[in-house]
Structure 1
Amino acid sequence: MASLLLAGLGNPTDKYKHTRHNIGFEVLDSLALKLGIEFQFSAAYNAAIAKSPSQEVFLLKPQTFMNASGEAIAPIMRFYKLETLLVIHDDLDLPLGCVRFKRGGGSGGHNGLKSIDTHYGNDYYRLRFGISRDEKIPVINYVLQDFKPSELSLKDQTITHATKALEFFINNRDFLSLQNRFTQNIKNEGL
């Protein structure tokens, strides 16, 4: 099976741990727990890395801060000659509870994706995790806010769904099937 890097986007430090912009880290933390693997810091890549012992699968959380994510992702892709990259990131243009999958395309103004495009190119898979948008709050302030208490249940349900989707992709490496089976809006069971 082709080698795979799953890269979750976010910002390091506890200050940003539960912000909307860190949803990529949260999804990978959930996946690592499910796979029974742990992240270790790599100074060489300035990233937290976990490797599945049974498959050629790497999980990576850049510790470069969001706007420099490509500086951690591109070197590990080259060094290990990894064949497939899937990036998990927040998406303002999707409502909370929405998960979409895409290959390639533009950054949509997302600075983490811009950095990856600059250092690696834009031919990679994406898991777009909806975080909604609040037009009354400047984007930079909004993405660095924690989720509201009323949103936590739906966020957690969506993380669970995204984790199942990534497990499916690890085991099948079939992107079209991934899109068909896991692209959807999650309904908040608490409402």
Structure 2
Amino acid sequence: MSTNATSPSGAGAEPWLIAGLGNPGPQYAGNRHNVGFMVADLLASRIGGSFKTHRARAQVLEGRIGTPGISSHRIILAKPMSFMNVSGGPVTALRDFYRVPVERIVAVHDELDIDYGALRLKKGGGDNGHNGLKSITKSLGPDYHRVRFGVGRPPGRMTVADYVLRDFSTVERKELDYFVDRAADAVEALVVDGLERAQSTYNS
């Protein structure tokens, strides 16, 4: 469904900004908190390009998804290179640079209150204690889209911070690639088909 940036463009269509949330640095790469980066990386591989450093403190890739031609959709795929709790700065800077309306911004992030691997797509609402969303909402308001990737609650007395900053478990990793692939499909469906149709397919 994804195509590279050389495909024909739709006439004057505003782009979508897809922000996969996470923390920069190899020590965080496998963390539950970095599943947004994992989805962004997969989308980049589908588009067939590589991320470039942007002055907005983000890694950015421009491309298109959907049926090649005038019905395809331009996207700005981004991984903020600030830490999670200040994601709003890079996302806002990219919004301003590319002139993206807030209703065309999508945050892809981990979600504690959803079972592991399950997805929920929505527009607007609260941040549910997620520091990345809290930062984005403070900068943009709440009316952006979210693709929420379930990671479940921490076991026993483990703190939330310890839980999300740990790698997925050995058992979880057996299905992680499948769930990340499904989340990338959900992002594409949101952009191409709209929120309601994407919700009916992926809100499990």
- Normalising to structure 2: TM-score of the pair? 0.85
* Segment drifting more, 150-159 vs 10-19: 150-159
1:102 is displaced (CA, Å) by 1.1
Q: Distance in 2 between matches of 1:2 and 1:154?
A: 35
Number of residue pairs aligned between Structure 1 and Structure 2:
182
How do 1:123-134 and structure 2 match up within 5 A? 123-134=143-154
The yes-or-no answer on 1:167 pairing with 2:188 is yes
C-alpha offsets along residues 28-49 of structure 1, whole Å, 9 cap, x if unaligned? 101110111211111x200000
1:189 is aligned to none
* 2:26 aligned to which of 4, 8, 14: 14
2:6 is aligned to none
The yes-or-no answer on 1:40 pairing with 2:52 is yes
Task: Report % sequence identity.
Answer: 38
Contact 1:96–1:132 (Cα < 8 Å) also in 2: yes
* Segment drifting more, 52-61 vs 93-102: 52-61
AA partner of residue 72 (structure 1): P
2:169 is aligned to 148
AA partner of residue 173 (structure 2): L
Q: Distance in 2 between matches of 1:34 and 1:52?
A: 10
Distance of aligned partners of 1:182 and 1:2 in 2 relative to their CA distance in 1, 3 Å threshold:
farther
AA partner of residue 39 (structure 1): F
AA partner of residue 45 (structure 1): A
Contact 2:58–2:90 (Cα < 8 Å) also in 1: yes
2:201 is aligned to 181
AA partner of residue 116 (structure 1): I
1:75 is aligned to 93
1:79 is displaced (CA, Å) by 2.1
Contact 1:96–1:155 (Cα < 8 Å) also in 2: no
AA partner of residue 88 (structure 2): G
Deviating above 4 A after TM superposition, structure 1's stretches of 4 or more consecutive aligned residues are none
Q: Distance in 1 between matches of 2:138 and 2:164?
A: 22
Contact 1:8–1:25 (Cα < 8 Å) also in 2: yes
* Segment drifting more, 46-55 vs 85-94: 46-55
1:55 is displaced (CA, Å) by 4.0
1:14 is displaced (CA, Å) by 0.1
- Normalising to structure 1: TM-score of the pair? 0.91
SS of the aligned residue for 1:171 comes to helix
Q: Which runs of 5+ in 1 are unaligned?
A: 185-191
1:144 is displaced (CA, Å) by 0.2
1:138 is aligned to 159
